[in-house]
Amino acid sequence: MTIKTLNAELLARFKNIKLLVLDVDGVMTNGGLTIGDDGQEYKTFHAHDGLGMKLLKASGVEMAIITGRTSNVVKKRAESTGVAHFYQGAEDKLAAFNDLVSKSGLQASQCAFMGDDVVDLPPMLKCGLALAVPDSPSLVLKYAHYVTAKSGGHGAVREVCELIMQAQGTFDAQMAQFLTQASISN
């Protein structure tokens, strides 16, 4: 999907975003949980998503993670991608979202929430842009303003980051650094 295919109302929602809030399992990952015999949890993140998050942050949009699980690997991923606001072990995601909005000084309408399951619906229903991945349960899909073409853990976050930057007119500036480097080396 490109920004040109979005209707005017959806485009306005993307333009208004100042904070992108992400769930982890099923959004930043494919939803699979690998747990070793020692109890250590392993997750696989997509490199495209990580770069998309860094580029979005560089464009002026803040990032946050709200996840119901607690995992050191997620904390490391948040740190490596520049996520400023991090809530884990958040069984009540709406309470975490409300706390985040209060601390950020933003309005809920300036926030996007990207989820994949019914536990994500409360903040999705309150935010300005509710995002879901295609393999979410039908109830989540019903209330999402936008459903990504890519699946969770397979570039869905990058897709959203690029759409936000395109809507806000910052995409070309973020990509220019790579195009300039390429033209120098050719």
The Cα–Cα gap between 186 and 178 comes to 13
**99 labelled binding-site residue:** no
In tens digits, what is the pLDDT along the chain, a chain of 186 residues? 577 788 999 999 999 999 999 999 999 999 988 888 988 888 999 999 999 999 999 999 999 999 999 988 999 999 999 998 999 999 999 999 999 999 999 999 999 999 999 999 999 999 999 999 999 999 999 999 999 999 999 999 999 999 999 999 999 999 998 887 655 544
Q: Domain of 20: which CATH number?
A: 3.40.50.1000
Whole-angstrom distance, CA of residue 186 vs CA of residue 177: 15
Q: Could you tell me if residue 114 is inside a domain?
A: yes
Show the domain range for 112.
Answer: 3-181
Q: What are phi and psi of 135, to 5 degrees?
A: -95, 20
Question: How many structural domains compose the chain?
Answer: 1
Contact between 139 and 120 under an 8 Å Cβ cutoff? The reply is: no
Q: Known binder of ligand: residue 25?
A: yes
Cα separation, 128 vs 113, in Å, equals 8
Q: Any known ligand binding at 116?
A: yes
160 contacts 112 by C-beta, under 8 angstroms:
yes
Sort residue 26 into left (φ over 0), alpha (ψ -120 to 50) or beta. left
Residue 186 lies in a domain: no
Question: What is the pTM (predicted TM-score) of this model?
Answer: 0.93
Instruction: Assess if residue 103 is contained within a domain.
Output: yes
DSSP string, 47-115: HHHHHHHHHHHHTT-EEEEE-SS--HHHHHHHHHTT--EEE-S-S-HHHHHHHHHHHHT--GGGEEEEE
